[in-house]
Amino acid sequence: MDKRYEPLFTPWKIGNVEIKNRIVMLPMEGTNMIQWEAKTGFVKGIDSLYRDRKDNNIGLFIPGLIPLVSIVKEKWIYDHPEVFEPVKPIVEEIHKSGAKIFFQLSAGAGRSMILPQLLKPFVKKGLLKDLSSKLVMSKWWWSAPDDDEPNVWDPDVKMDLFTSEMISRFVYAFGQTAKLCKQAGIDGVEVHAVHEGYLLDQFAMSYTNHRDDCYGGSLQNRLRFACEVVKEIKKVCGEDYPVSLRYSVCSMTRGFNEGAVPGEVFEEVGRSMKESEKAIKILEEAGYDMFNCDNGTYDAWYWAHPPVYAPLNINLSYVEHIKQFTSKPVVCAGRMQPKEAADSIAEGKIDAMGIGRQLLCDPEYVTKIKEERMEDIRPCIACHGACLPFNGANGKGTDIDPLHVEMGRCVLNPWTNNEARYSLKPSRHPKKIAVIGGGIGGMETAIQASLRGHEVDLYEKSDRLGGAFNAAAAMSFKEKDKDLLRWYQNTLYKTDTRVHLNSEIDDIDRLDADVVVVAIGAISRTLPIKGAEKAMTAIDFLNGSQECKENAIIIGGGLTGCEIAYELALKGKKPVIVEATENIIGARGICMANSSMLKELIRFHKIPVYTSSTVEEINEDTVTLKTPEGSKVLPADIVILSVGYLPDKRFADKDDKKKKNKKIYFVGDCDQVGSLKTVIKQAYETVQKISY
């Protein structure tokens, strides 16, 4: 083992429970062992996810949260101990691997509850009369510390009052449910949470708690609910039963639905570091044995779920600071990297590294570190394309599509949480496969086909692999995208695939193959603008065909256009975004953590944004805009078109009837323009079909 990582593999204790190493698999949506409102309570197929990881050197598992009370109707999990029975076999397997497991128990979401937005499409279709809590939702999930509190996802929706009687019932439920966990062999529990702006956190912060009873006012009062919870668990389960708290060190929140960005000087409306130093002492004295830490609230959601725009180890300095104010162990999460985590652990600044999405992306992540196989690690690129379910199209999350919710999966690794659906067995009928296109879709197809025992040739017309993803990875803040390109290339060359660079295919008939997979991507859209020949596409710009001197006009305020504007701002340039619709970054499928952080960065860097506007004319050094306020002329030494893509259909007429014993598949954007998620999933499933 590389000595730099040795601190990660030393034992430590939470209370009297010893953990074999400093790696904690964090709770994530879709990693729940129990979704207890289901018939059995055990999530079908989840045991496969944990079996893939239990022998891969993880010290502590904390699966996704367990609601204490049902969302629909009023059922309490402590009245249904039978739901713990199916969990016991996989818990025993985890224990045999030497790892420990804590269950995370949830007090609810309060004003962060997303269900109203998930239900809206059903209301529109007439399947539900309205969004009234009395009709569709338990009062426990519709209530917040203050009545009339605005919902995060839709401020027009107001919350009910979480009464003192409800608090007492919840405190009791925590104790009884923790007792069931202990009886099921679970090593400890984690309370969810004085964290991320969930219900207990709303009680803890003055900007969401204006109560005048014993649960409001002073910091001690605002933390009373959380303190009563741990005291109850200890009373029921014993003082030696470990209880962790999911804890946001700082809220990083400027106001309702307004988050701060790294490096910003702002007035904290939530929990400041000064208050956090006092809060963690109060919580420790109440009985918590560990603090599982990061930052943020749902108003600044991206601190707890940092996207690609967030620095690596984004929360580390904050957690290292708060560690000085508690004698209990702390875990740090948030794009954590092993070298920085190991250094911090060795210096006694944190106690363990929390990992979430990286373990969805690569189950063998920790083993590869231990075995010095860093180049084999499939890197998480913080895209949130399949691991987080909360996608919205209008920037406030109020247009969420419940039919396209993803939970606990991975864009880069379709196997995750689909273990029972897919096969990795060698094909019973190996074939000769030609893959046209060396982008992500083509490489994924070739890798999977080769691993299944097929004979594969990959043809790429240029002199390098990666396709359009080379442009996507070019921006300075996309270091993990660059790592992903290297991983794909290294992995591809470790297979038996024959790679042919500088090999453009124009006639499928000449290919010596049983199956042809076309993965040639898309072509950039253009617009009928006067002077459009002076503009360049986003891909050409990112590939370095022209530098920006100072003033750049980006036509198109989608994800790519806004990322380009942010990149130019980081370089000291003066970008301007022009978007024809009312909102920037408005496409479906973009996680709210990503879109909201990018919008806040655009605000912070003071990048002008013209929505509901179009470019009328591009001149040598200016552009003319048509805005709601009238015509406007802006300086421009470069104009970048980022208005989407069209499928490259050059082989679209090559169907089975026209080919000589060849089966043809189309993968990725040449079939239908989508995302990295759709490209990789389609490649994966195409090989599943071929290998059947």
Q: List, by residue number, the catalytic residues.
A: 198
Cβ atoms within 10 Å of 523's Cβ, excluding its own: 17
Alpha carbons within 13 A on the beta-carbon side of 420? 9
Q: How far is CA 445 from each of CA 209, 246, 380, 425, 663, rounded to the nearest angstrom? A: 52, 40, 19, 15, 15
Rounded Cα distance, 692 and 688, in Å: 6
Q: What is the DSSP string of 328-375?
A: S-EEE-SS--HHHHHHHHHTTS-SEEEESHHHHH-TTHHHHHHTT-GG
> Which residues fall within 8 angstroms of residue 347, CB to CB, at 6 or more apart?
none
Answer whether 145's CB lies under 8 Å from 215's CB: yes
Rounded Cα distance, 284 and 346, in Å: 23
Q: How far is CA 586 from each of CA 47, 334, 627, 645, rounded to the nearest angstrom? A: 36, 26, 19, 16
Answer whether 440's CB lies under 8 Å from 466's CB: yes
Residue in this structure with the two tokens 């039919």, named with its chain if needed: 403
Rounded Cα distance, 73 and 398, in Å: 24
Strand blocks (E) in 467-546: 498-500, 515-518, 522-524, 536-537
Name the percent of the chain in helix, strand, coil, to the closest 5.
35, 20, 45
Please calculate the CA angle 478-484-489 and round it to the nearest 5 degrees. 135
Residue 312 CA, distance from chain mean position: 14
Answer whether 562's CB lies under 8 Å from 648's CB: no
Rounded Cα distance, 490 and 477, in Å: 22
Q: Of 455, 458, 483, which is closest to residue 469 (Cα–Cα)?
A: 483
Element (H, E) at 246: strand 243-248
Rounded Cα distance, 132 and 66, in Å: 24
Residue 232 CA, distance from chain mean position: 33
Answer whether 560's CB lies under 8 Å from 469's CB: no
Cβ atoms within 10 Å of 290's Cβ, excluding its own: 30
Q: Of 127, 129, 225, which is closest to residue 171 (Cα–Cα)?
A: 225
> In terms of DSSP bridges, do strands 243-248 and 253-255 run parallel, antiparallel, or are they unpaired?
unpaired
Q: What is the DSSP string of 49-71?
A: HHHHHHTS--SEE-PSPEESB-S
Answer whether 412's CB lies under 8 Å from 401's CB: no
Residue in this structure with the two tokens 């690129």, named with its chain if needed: 381
Residue in this structure with the two tokens 């980081």, named with its chain if needed: 570
